[in-house]
Structure 1
């Protein structure tokens, strides 16, 4: 598969689609909990020591004093609970959570997650999760065959966590805002600064490095940074990109940027195929013959294909991406051979682009 990224002339993108604003980001949360109510598909308590310890600790907090010998249920599973806390989430708002089995549980279908605190990177609790889990996959089978669809040991709880702590960030008191480019580039950063300055009518923005644009808050937007970001993020600029070719050798996908250029080079592709076919035959004497024995006679057919239909194509200096793709297609080259040719052209110094192999 060959994919050519050739954007039309004067293609413009909004600034909000190419940058991230300082402070406007999600935060990852994680917690450890128990899912109960499973139909015999939970952890094996004899093997899952952490599941048994967690179950004992929970029951002790609830005033129940069980013995380890009395815990032999398969309806409990230890799980990890993860969530993404959106920027500026307020107390009482809800977020989705993902529940993943930690032990040897086979299925979380029908389970209920018990109260689970969700912690941030600083160890503080920012949300609490609980609720009925929704499993997208299933597993069923018998003694001879088992059918599994999706991942039955992973589930989600829509709006399953309540935010208990807010992350403080006062935007209105900011005197400057940083714009972080998602794809760092000197030219794109400069174009963003120029677009912002043209809109504000002052030199408030400047590119400090390929990935950051520093924007000072003008007097007209003091104590109202939200309006400034709203106006700036709608401005349109034309992002620039370096000439790059992305190759995924596992799937055979090749993606080329529109700025890929080649120097004059000749490309030929040929294959040598040798096909050997064995067709043994049986030789035996005639009926009622008193002489001769039955034997196997080898019959071998050897065919050699030297790729006689292969042609030599000349790619002229400074050709465009479309012309280069047409030249490769004219040779009848498959994706696997294209990968080898691109790497060979790069090694010859005739390809003005970076090759990145995934």
Structure 2
């Protein structure tokens, strides 16, 4: 409870210091959205990590097939029916993110994850593996030494010690881009800017800022997208997009919202939340059962036996928390003070907020995670 009170006091202090009730400050257009088509693309590949210290896949079938394929690439044909021991190799999946405008020859960071039962890929080397996009085309080639932050140790008696995840690692600059992705912005009929969060007011303000500074070329088509007329050509449009990204806009105030994580008891209330007149009383009922068994001895020279007699003491206690009242239009700081006054635990705070919402006094969206 003391931790909860400290959290609420700090939250109230931050609310007062940052001025939640004040309108949102100006933000650059590039910080509230992005142009359509300028996005990252996910790449995935399959490969083999070799050079392991006996922590590989052993006789995993697709690792065996992969090793035979690698050997065949160099003109080495393994005898039929021979399955190579793969304790020093592991089948892995390789993933990477191809950023927009990435050009052939640029380097990418990659993540390497064991596919089978390899205990660790620490100290291994990834053999050349193609990375494929959603369209089935090869966009990069990956290879290099795997850096693993985890560690796994096993004793002869079966005891194990594992730190982090030794079956996954990264290779900084481990892939080379082989094919560029056409973003399509140079030939599209018009440029489209998409907001990160849908808001009709913000969309209108972005369009108005563009029209004020660059002429009547923008219109808000919905709560997310702003369509912008632009001359065709990559160079011309890149210049226009750069100017648009650096314009200042006042985003609309966020809608009133209360976020509740029911698993951890975390509650976040934004500054737009208002409370209608309401009275709240919250109490706790505590039931305690105390067992005090005692030993009963038989009388002297009797044929009785020593027995244990159970003795239970049941007590019921209800905390008398006073009722508190929210005045009309109560602000964030007033909500925090009231809840802090009764020393509500996180679970109790969730119950109070849900009750206020059901009573129609909480004028905000209640999101339960």
TM-score, reference length from structure 1: 0.91
Aligned counterpart in structure 1 of residue 329 of structure 2, from 277, 294, 318: 318
Q: Is the 8 A contact 2:195 2:225 kept in 1?
A: yes
Range that drifts further, 181-190 or 1-10: 1-10
The answer for the alignment partner of 2:73 in structure 1 is 61
| Separation (CA, whole Å) in 1 of partners of 2:231 and 2:358 | 51
Range that drifts further, 113-122 or 65-74: 65-74
The answer for the alignment partner of 1:133 in structure 2 is 146
| Separation (CA, whole Å) in 1 of partners of 2:326 and 2:118 | 59
Aligned counterpart in structure 2 of residue 86 of structure 1, from 99, 122, 140: 99
| Separation (CA, whole Å) in 2 of partners of 1:204 and 1:165 | 34
The answer for the alignment partner of 2:361 in structure 1 is 350
The answer for the alignment partner of 2:221 in structure 1 is 208
> For 2:103, what is the secondary structure of its paired residue?
coil
| Separation (CA, whole Å) in 2 of partners of 1:227 and 1:107 | 49
> For 1:224, what is the secondary structure of its paired residue?
helix
Aligned counterpart in structure 2 of residue 339 of structure 1, from 350, 354, 357: 350
Range that drifts further, 65-74 or 262-271: 65-74
- CA shift at 1:357, angstroms? 1.6
- CA shift at 1:332, angstroms? 0.8
Spell out, residue by residue over 1:168-200, the C-alpha distance to the aligned partner (whole angstroms, 9 max, x if none): 246555663211111111111111112222222
Gaps of 5+ in 1: none
| Separation (CA, whole Å) in 1 of partners of 2:159 and 2:129 | 36
> For 2:120, what is the secondary structure of its paired residue?
coil
1:263 is the counterpart of 2:282: no
The answer for the alignment partner of 1:97 in structure 2 is 110
Gaps of 5+ in 2: none
- CA shift at 1:95, angstroms? 0.5
Give the 5 Å matches for 1:39-188. 39-45=53-59, 48-67=60-79, 68-142=81-155, 143=157, 145-169=159-183, 171=185, 176-188=190-202
| Separation (CA, whole Å) in 2 of partners of 1:199 and 1:315 | 46
> For 1:225, what is the secondary structure of its paired residue?
helix
| Separation (CA, whole Å) in 2 of partners of 1:27 and 1:350 | 45
Aligned counterpart in structure 2 of residue 306 of structure 1, from 311, 314, 318: 318
| Separation (CA, whole Å) in 1 of partners of 2:48 and 2:38 | 32
CA RMSD between the two structures = 2.2
The answer for the alignment partner of 1:194 in structure 2 is 208
- CA shift at 1:145, angstroms? 2.9
TM-score, reference length from structure 2: 0.89
Aligned counterpart in structure 2 of residue 17 of structure 1, from 10, 31, 42: 31
1:275 is the counterpart of 2:297: no
Q: Is the 8 A contact 2:231 2:237 kept in 1?
A: no
1:295 is the counterpart of 2:307: yes
Q: Is the 8 A contact 1:204 1:218 kept in 2?
A: no
| Separation (CA, whole Å) in 1 of partners of 2:146 and 2:39 | 27
Alignment CA distance shift 1:281-1:169 (3 Å): closer
- CA shift at 1:293, angstroms? 5.0
